[in-house]
C-alpha cells in the first residue's frame, strides 16, 4: 500500500492541540485516522455553531421543535443527541427518554404521555425513542397486543398531522446500522464496566430477533414515511459521520435565520 504523503495543511492540523490529542489517544499510532478525527471535530464545531444560531432563532420566534431519534439498539442515538445538545442553551432544550409506562399510563391514550413532553414556545425537545416504540420494539418483543399495534398504525399519521398543524416542527431521524456492527457494539458494551449499564434485556435479544425487527421496521417506513412527516435514514456504522449527518439534517429541516449573530 502506498504511503500517505501529508500536505502542509494536514501536518499543521496534526501539530495542533486537537491533532496531538487525537494522535496520542489512539493506539496503535495511526496518523491518517487521527487526521480524520481532527477534521470531524472541526466540522462538528462548525455545525454546533449553526445549532446555536437555530436555537436563538427558535427562542426569538417562539418556535416549537420536536426531533425524534429511532433505530436499532446500539445504533448511536444517544451519542448523536449528546453532540447536538452539548453546546446549546440547556434552559431551552430537553432530552426525553421515557421509561416503560406505569399502570396508570397503560390505561391512557397511547400518545398521551408523549404529548405531555411536547415543547413550550422557544423550546427544542429531542426524543431518544418515541411513540414509534409501538411500531417496532413493542410488537417484536410482545409488549403490546396485535390490536394495540393496529390501532397505533391507523392513528400515527393523523397524530403527526395534528402536531404539525398546531405549529410544532417535527423532524424524524432513523439511525441504521448493520447486524455485524450491532454485534460489535454490544460486545464493546459488555466488556466496558463504564458502559455495561446500557445493556438491557431487550438489547440481549436484539441479534436473535434481527429479522423480526426488519419486518416491522419496513412496515413502519411504508406507512409513516409521509410527505408531511418524512423519515431521514442515517447510515450509522461510522459514528462520527452519523453524528454530523444528523445535525446537518436538522439544520436543513428547520428554516432558521442563518444571519443571526452567535
Percent of the chain exceeding pLDDT 70 equals 90
Residues 176 and 233 sit within 8 Å (Cβ to Cβ): yes
Whether 114 maps to a domain, the answer reads yes
Partners of residue 65 on adjacent β-strands: 124, 169
Whether 95 maps to a domain, the answer reads yes
Whether 110 maps to a domain, the answer reads yes
Whether 187 maps to a domain, the answer reads yes
Whether 51 maps to a domain, the answer reads no
Which residues neighbour 26 within 8 Å (Cβ) at sequence distance 6 or greater?
A: 33, 34, 37
Residues 247 and 83 sit within 8 Å (Cβ to Cβ): yes
Q: Write the pLDDT tens digit of every residue in 17-34.
A: 666 566 556 666 667 777
pLDDT band at 260 (very low <50, low <70, confident <90, very high): very high
Q: For the chain, what is the domain count? A: 1
Spatial separation of the C-alpha atoms in residues 51 and 80, rounded to whole Å: 13
Q: What is the mean pLDDT of residues 167-196?
A: 96
Partners of residue 235 on adjacent β-strands: 176
Alpha helices in 87-238 (DSSP H): 103-106, 112-115, 137-141, 146-165, 179-191, 201-204, 210-224
Whether 179 maps to a domain, the answer reads yes
Residue 257 grid coordinates: 435565520
Whether 6 maps to a domain, the answer reads no
Tell me which residue has cell 500500500.
Answer: 1
Fill in the DSSP letter of residue 124: E
Residue 109 grid coordinates: 391514550
Containing domain of residue 108, as a range?
Answer: 62-253
> Is 1's pLDDT higher than 50?
no
Whether 41 maps to a domain, the answer reads no
- The H-or-E segment that residue 67 falls in is strand 64-71
| Domain at 127, CATH number | 3.40.50.300
Q: Write the pLDDT tens digit of every residue in 220-233.
A: 999 999 999 999 99
**pTM score, two decimals?**
0.90
Q: Write the pLDDT tens digit of every residue in 131-142.
A: 999 999 999 999
Q: What distance, in Å, lies between the first and last C-alpha atoms of the chain? A: 45
Buried b (16+ CB within 10 A) or exposed e, 54-63: bbbbbbeeeb
Stretch among 2-16, 90-104, 121-135, 149-163 having the lowest mean pLDDT: 2-16
Half-sphere exposure of 224 (CA within 13 A, CB side): 28
Partners of residue 124 on adjacent β-strands: 65, 93
Amino acid at each position: 500500500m502506498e504511503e500517505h504523503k501529508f500536505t502542509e495543511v494536514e501536518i499543521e492540523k496534526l501539530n495542533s492541540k486537537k491533532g496531538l490529542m487525537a494522535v496520542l489517544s489512539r493506539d496503535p499510532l495511526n496518523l491518517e485516522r487521527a487526521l480524520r478525527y481532527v477534521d470531524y471535530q472541526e466540522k462538528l464545531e462548525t455545525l454546533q455553531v449553526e445549532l446555536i444560531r437555530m436555537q436563538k432563532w427558535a427562542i426569538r420566534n417562539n418556535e416549537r421543535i420536536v426531533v425524534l431519534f429511532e433505530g436499532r439498539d446500539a445504533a448511536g442515538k444517544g451519542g448523536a443527541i449528546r453532540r447536538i445538545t452539548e453546546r446549546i442553551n440547556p434552559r431551552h432544550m430537553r432530552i426525553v427518554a421515557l421509561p416503560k409506562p406505569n399502570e396508570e399510563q397503560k390505561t391512557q391514550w397511547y400518545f398521551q404521555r408523549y404529548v405531555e413532553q411536547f415543547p413550550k414556545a422557544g423550546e427544542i425537545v429531542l426524543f431518544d425513542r418515541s411513540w414509534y416504540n409501538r411500531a417496532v420494539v413493542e410488537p417484536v418483543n410482545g409488549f403490546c397486543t396485535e390490536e394495540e399495534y393496529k390501532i397505533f398504525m391507523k392513528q400515527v399519521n393523523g397524530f403527526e398531522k395534528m402536531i404539525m398543524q398546531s405549529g410544532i416542527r417535527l423532524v424524524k431521524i432513523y439511525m441504521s446500522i448493520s447486524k455485524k456492527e450491532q454485534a460489535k457494539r454490544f460486545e464493546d458494551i459488555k466488556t466496558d464496566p463504564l458502559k455495561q449499564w446500557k445493556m438491557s434485556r431487550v438489547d440481549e435479544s436484539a441479534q436473535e430477533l434481527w429479522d423480526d425487527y426488519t419486518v416491522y421496521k419496513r412496515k413502519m417506513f411504508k406507512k409513516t414515511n409521509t410527505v408531511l412527516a418524512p423519515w431521514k435514514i442515517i447510515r450509522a456504522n461510522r459514528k462520527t459521520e452519523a453524528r454530523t449527518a444528523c445535525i446537518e439534517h436538522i439544520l436543513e429541516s428547520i428554516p432558521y435565520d442563518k444571519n443571526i449573530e452567535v
